[in-house]
Chain A
Amino acid sequence: MNAPFNRHTGLAAPLPHQNVDTDQIIPCRFLTGSRSDGFEQFLFHDLRHDSAGRPKAGFVLDEPHFRAATILVSGDNFGCGSSREQAVWSLLDAGYRAIVAPSFGEIFYNNAATNGLLAIQLETDQVSRLLQSLADGPRDIAIDLPQQTLSAEALGCVRFPIDAFFKDCLVSGMTALELTLTHLETIDAFERAHKAELSWAFARPYTKPMLDPALTRQRP
């Protein structure tokens, strides 16, 4: 179970870049930790530090008044790139509950849904107005997930779209895995019929390394 997500009010911080990819969110070299170790110290590591590992001055989220932020507002295509779930975990571990952007990388979006991090898609001009309002300091944003509304001084109260599946998982706290396990009988029945129909796909389980035709064959 994830913690159920219904309403959340918190300080918002801006990261006004497009295409914030998962390599920027958490670089490759910090992916070996265990989930229980936490990933917050690696969040945006290379935007926060120079190549010698010293803190960089001027990274927006390190400004003292943004440290307590729980909502991140960013540009188009947030979370594009690699499938690393650590991108979502590092945001959650650093205290973020929701990300607001005009669009999201698809794998990131699914990973967010899996872990109870709310990804809110708003229109580009709405996000621009939010980013402008956050330029000189944090502002409160109030999110009501059951009503699908977001309230901020710069926007008033606006409705956001969300797919029903994601919403249901977040509100109930039930994970996709738990939900799947309640449908095991349906999966069993489907699998039997499927394997009968596509028997060729399951007819040759791999047992041990065999003499490989590719080894002796000249490919064109």
Chain B
Amino acid sequence: MDDDRLDLSPLKPDPERVDRAAGAVMARARGTLDGRRRMRGSVWREIPGWERPLLATAAIAAIVSIVVLLRVHPVVQRGHVATLSEQAGVPAPIASWVDSDQPPDPAALLEW
């Protein structure tokens, strides 16, 4: 026990005051609580619960896609190392200009 304690009980709100205040708070919060009840069970409320499984599935799908793409379109063909331009799908004449590091002459440009 704390013998030095001050009696501040006159400052305590009386039960009627607490009742009135609680009633006022609940009247103002009713809309929020109704909204929460409506949201319960709706699709949007379920989404956060599916976050982790969805992320795991997406990661697996990404890995499978990369493996399949590498098998179908191998980057390195036998005896030929693909250039960056080729990998990016740039047409061969333009790729050769890019790789040569020389400006194309106007005649070649017109011809192409």
A and B: partners? no
